[in-house]
Structure formats: C-alpha cells, structure tokens
Structure 1
Amino acid sequence: MEISYDGTAYHGWQIQHNAISVQEKLNKALHTYLRHDIETTGAGRTDTGVHAKQLFVHFDSDHTALKNDPGRCIHALNSLLPFDIAIHRIIPVHEDAHTRFDALERSYEYLLHFDKNPFQTNRSYLLRDKPDIHKMNEAAQHLYGKQDFSCFSKSHTQVFTNICTIREAKWEESENGMIFHITADRFLRNMVRAIVGTLLEIGVKGSPVSYIQEVIASKNRSHAGVSVPACGLYLTQITYPYIHR
C-alpha cells in the first residue's frame, strides 16, 4: 500500500504508547473496513512531525475486495482516515515481500524558507539568514559513496551497521527558499536532519567546507551540527524492484 501524510499532528509513523501515530490510524481504518485485525509494517520510521510524500506499508489479508476492486477499497479507507493521511495505491505482492528489507533506495527532501509565511508553518524550516548554497553543495560532495556515517546517527540505536551509500546530496533554490535532496540505500536514525544541520554550519556559520570531512572521520555525533527541526523533512520516494512508479 502506498500512502502519504502530513506528520504535524503525529508522534511519527510507529505506534507509540500514550501518543498518536500514523500507523495507529492506518491500522484502525484497515480493521474497520476489512473486519479483522491488521498489523502493518512500514518501509521505515519517520519521527514526530516529519512528513511523507510517499511511504509503502505491507500487511496480510485475504479480503477479496483488495484484489477485485482496489479503487473502491482506497475510497472507503480514505473516508475512514483523517484528512492528513491518504492512501494512493493498493498493490498485490508476493507473500514474502517486505517494505523495509526489499527497498533499494530512499529519498528525502528538506525545505527551508527565509520570509515568515503562515502557509509554510510546520511544513518548512524558517531560517533568518540565507545560507551560501555554493559552499553547502561543495561540502555535500563529500557525502557521496559508501561510508560510515556514525557521526550523523542518533545515539543508542539498534542497528548492525552505520555504513550507508549516498547516491545524491545537493541543494537547489526554490521560491523563497532552498530544498536539500538526498538519496541513499538506507538512512540512520535522525541522519538527514543531522546532515542538514552540519551543512548549515558551513553555509550560515562560516565553517570551512573541510569541516564535513572532519565530522565524518570523527564518527562522533557530538562533532556534527545540531539536528534541524522535523517540520522541514519529507520522505519523498522509496524504490522497489517489483513496484513501478
């Protein structure tokens, strides 16, 4: 199932105790419509306030309507979901398909804007000073390839390795702002927000381009920049070998 959501009102994707999550709302809607318990598995976790333009989830169900009339199912499920969560596609896959482990690449965007705008509140990071985009793009070149990115990972996460392969990392100007694009085979917890914060140390605070090389070499989160606010972060695309865009 392909979904999207505005994460402003939620404590991330994953079900939380005493907090509202996107997964909780989706599971409830599926249970109501299919009339049996559903446990969804997402392609990854998004933190509190982070948005997703595209997220895939998988679940098991033998309900005939899912295969025979997916359009009707989508319409019915969307009517059960809050306005800030939407289902776009229902895709039958083989029984061993896994949204997290089968993903080939994931892409994120981070949005900045420089003038106060009520329509960008909770959807972009308001920055007072305009960064030097050329210095940040020069620094971003050092992110490419297969590397140990421990310096950008939240501490005490349960992962086997901090090695990721980044294929794209670049800034572009937008109307009244900038967008950072990044694509990798996998991401660590809080990684994109830490990378953006580190690049802003170079683009706004005047650290040299070589600073990012020193941060990566340190493998120490305390050497990197601060994590920028969640409101500007969007999961934008996930690629699978068996799902067409």
Structure 2
Amino acid sequence: MHRYFIYLAYDGTNYHGWQIQPNGISVQETLMKALYTFLRKEIEVIGAGRTDAGVHAALMVAHFDYPGEPLDTSQVKEKLNRILPPDISVYNVKEVKPDAHARFDALSRTYKYYVTTEKFPFQRQYRYRLHNKPDFDKMNQVARILYEYTDFTSFSKLHTDVKTNNCKVTNVCWTQIDDVTWEFTITADRFLRNMVRAVVGTLLEVGQGKLTADGFRKVIEQKDRGKAGTSVPGQGLFLVNVEYPEEIWR
C-alpha cells in the first residue's frame, strides 16, 4: 500500500465545503471521483481540514492510499488536472510514509481573510465588503490577545464532534494590501469549525468601537459562542498553507 499527499487549490464558490455532503457537491467528492476515473478504484481522500461552504483554498493538502505498484506522481498530477473542473487544480503529488496523515500530522495551518471598503464587482466573491472603515490599528493590537489563550470555545461552531476546543495561535495580524483592501492572517496548530470567521467578526466589532480590548478578553474567557461577534461570510476566507514535519516524506 502506498500513500500520497495531494497539494491542491480550489475556488470554493460553487461547493458546499471540502467535506462530502448529502445535499450538495463538495471538493472532496469531486477529487475522489477524478481519482476513480483514471485509477479505476474507489479512492478515499482525507483532507488536512474542513473548509466550509464558499471558503477557498490557495493550498489544501489531502492524502490517499493506492494498493499496487507505485504511481508516477507527475502523471497523477497531469491526469487529475485534465479531469478536474476549472475551479480545482493540483499543484503536486508526493509519496509519503504509509502512516503519514494529512490532518493529524499537520504542524500548523494558515488562513487569510480579505476585506475591502470599496464596491468592486470583480472581487465580490473573494472579499467581504465593509461599508465603513474600521480602526485596523486597534484591531491589530487587540488581535494579539489571542496569543494569551488556548480555549477558543467562544469562536467555535456549536455542537461539533471535536474532543477539545484548545488551539495555539502562533501568528495573527492585519495588513493593508492597497488603499481599500486589508488582509487578516492567522496561523495556529489547529482551528475549530467557523473559528476564523468568528474571530474576524469579533475583531470588526472592536474596529467599529462596539467592543473594547477588555471586552474581547471577556468574550474569550466566557467560552460562549453567543458572546462573540457574528461570523463574517465565507467568500473572503482562504486556507493558504499547511506545514508538516520533514520525517513524513518518503
């Protein structure tokens, strides 16, 4: 049995998220069908995470197993890109050790969220438009409070199947891209369902003067999703990187 990592990107606009859904098309299902088309075997694909409906990935990692002779990974990449729809592309396919796991072996994941203060029709599916410019300097200062905590229940979707709501945030910042666009970057060892969108929504309340730094701390400490801000829409969110230890590679 040989295990392979697939590095891919996708525009999540037309998908009900990464994970297979009973009532809509997913990226995972689309990728599995493409693998079946040329390998002629039912192939299960396990992703590094579960992006929600409408969320994009500039870089997602997934693994699959293949019984038999080792695959020509460059050929797998080429054939997948021919079969997959235009909104999903494969960067690379690499063989890894048989016990390597795309989700559980990930050391960190990085997401970016984009907001704009300008109405611009060609970026509406990749940006969240703000009708009033918030105080981004204040949002940057308060965002660093995330370093001081590990339990982020207040930013988690309710009734999930995870065993712990603990995460370690290692990088967080707002960066201005141009006159009307800002980028929020956050890196952690793991993320909870809806966590990034809830964090951004709560920080926007800080930037709009609705929540103080102490209030932000209180939101985290109360461990109550109802106390945090409204989640921002999915179209501005991108998974951009997943890091792994060197020892997993074949």
Matched, 1:47 2:52: yes
Alpha-carbon distance in structure 1 between the residues aligned to 2:148 and 2:190: 12
Given candidates 33, 40, 43, the residue that maps to 2:38 is 33
**CA–CA distance in structure 1, aligned partners of residues 20 and 40 of structure 2:** 20
SS in 2 for 1:60: strand
Query: Is the Cα contact below 8 Å between 1:65 and 1:73 reproduced in 2?
Result: no
Asked whether the 8 Å contact 1:145–1:165 carries over to 2, the reply is: no
3-state SS, counterpart of residue 94 of structure 2 = coil
1:72 aligns with 2:96: no
- 1:223 matched to 2:220? The reply is no
The SS at the match of 1:109 is strand
Could you tell me which amino acid in structure 1 is paired with residue 164 of structure 2?
Answer: T
Q: How well do the aligned residues superpose, as a CA RMSD in angstroms?
A: 1.3
Residue type of the partner of 1:6?
A: D
Match of 1:201 among 195, 200, 205: 205
Would the alpha carbon gap of residues 146 and 213 (structure 1) be closer, same or farther in structure 2, given more than 3 Å must change? closer
Note the C-alpha offset of 1:116. Answer: 1.0
Q: State whether structure 2 residue 86 is matched by structure 1 residue 83.
A: yes
* CA gap 1:16/1:138 in 2 versus in 1, 3 angstroms: same
Contact 1:148 1:164 (C-alpha < 8 Å) held by counterparts: yes
1:170 aligned residue: 173
Hey, what's the Cα distance between the residues in 2 that align with 1:205 and 1:85? 39
Consecutive unaligned residues in structure 2, runs of 5 or more = 1-5
Within 5 Å, which residues of 2 pair with 1:142-181? 142-175=145-178, 176-181=180-185
Give the Cα separation in 2 of the matches to 1:207 and 1:104: 32
* Secondary structure at 1:11 match in 2: coil
- Give 1:101's match in structure 2, choosing from 95, 104, 112: 104
Residue type of the alignment partner of 1:220: D
Report the alpha carbon displacement of residue 71 of structure 1 after superposing the two structures with TM.
1.9
Q: Return the offset for 1:62.
A: 3.5
| Change in CA separation of 1:164 and 1:43 when aligned onto 2, cut-off 3 Å | same
**1:145, CA displacement in angstroms?**
4.3
**Alignment partner for residue 192 of structure 2, among 188, 191, 196?**
188
Bigger shift: 137-146 or 160-169? 137-146
Equivalent in 95, 104, 127 of residue 124 of structure 1: 127
Which residues in structure 2 correspond to 1:11-22 (within 5 Å)? Answer: 11-22=16-27
Distance (Å, rounded) in 2 between the aligned partners of 1:63 and 1:232: 41
* SS state at 1:210 partner: helix
Identity %: 50
- How far apart, in 2, do the equivalents of 1:63 and 1:92 lie? 13
Is the 8 Å Cα contact of residues 137 and 171 (structure 1) preserved in structure 2? yes
Aligned to 1:138: 141
- Secondary structure, counterpart of 1:231 in structure 2: helix
Structure 1 consecutive aligned stretches of length 4 or more whose deviation exceeds 4 Å: none
**What TM-score, normalized to structure 1?**
0.95
Give the CA deviation at 1:72: 2.4
Q: Flag structure 1 segments of 5+ consecutive residues without an equivalent.
A: none
For 1:94, the aligned partner's letter is K
Per-residue deviation, 1:205: 3.9
Matches of 1:120 and 1:188, distance apart in 2: 27
After superposition, give the CA deviation of every residue in 1:28-61 in whole Å (9 maximum; x if it has no partner).
Answer: 0000011111010001100000001111111101
